[in-house]
Amino acid sequence: MGYRLLFTMEGRAPVVHLALATTLRLRCQRCLEPFGWPVDTDVRLKWVGGPLEAERLDPGFEPLLLPEGGLVNPRDLIEDELLLAVPQVPRHPFGTCRADWASSLEDDAPRPQENPFAVLARCKR
């Protein structure tokens, strides 16, 4: 995992520039096999005192609520960004999963059935 944190000031507000690149090991929810999920994020966080300040942020910044005591743990910032990068339902990219749902769905597709009265017509002959 590679990350870079740069703490600066913009005006009177502290800013954190966080760059993060890694591969997370997740479990596919289709086949339950592990797979790698690449994460490459570059975000600029600006400290805010509350929701009103967050709404007035300049474009290109994400709000970061100033914690009590004013101290920030860099590990928490990295963890938050990793959690945001995890998909809601982790799964292999389409077509690469062992479960191969696409082909199994095609096999279960309803097929046109013969009219039951056609069977009676053949018996009548």
- pLDDT tens per residue across span 41-79: 999 999 888 889 889 998 999 999 877 777 888 999 999
Is the separation of the CB atoms in 18 and 81 below 8 Å?
yes
SS3 107: helix
pTM for this one?
A: 0.69
Gap between the Cα atoms of 44 and 61, Å rounded? 5
pLDDT in tens, 74-117: 999 999 999 999 999 999 888 888 876 544 554 555 666 777 77
Arithmetic mean of pLDDT, 5-15: 90
Q: What is the tally of structural domains in the chain?
A: 1
User: In 3-state terms, what secondary structure has residue 84?
Assistant: helix
Secondary structure class of 2 (helix, strand, coil): strand
Determine the structural domain holding residue 101 and report its residue range: 2-124
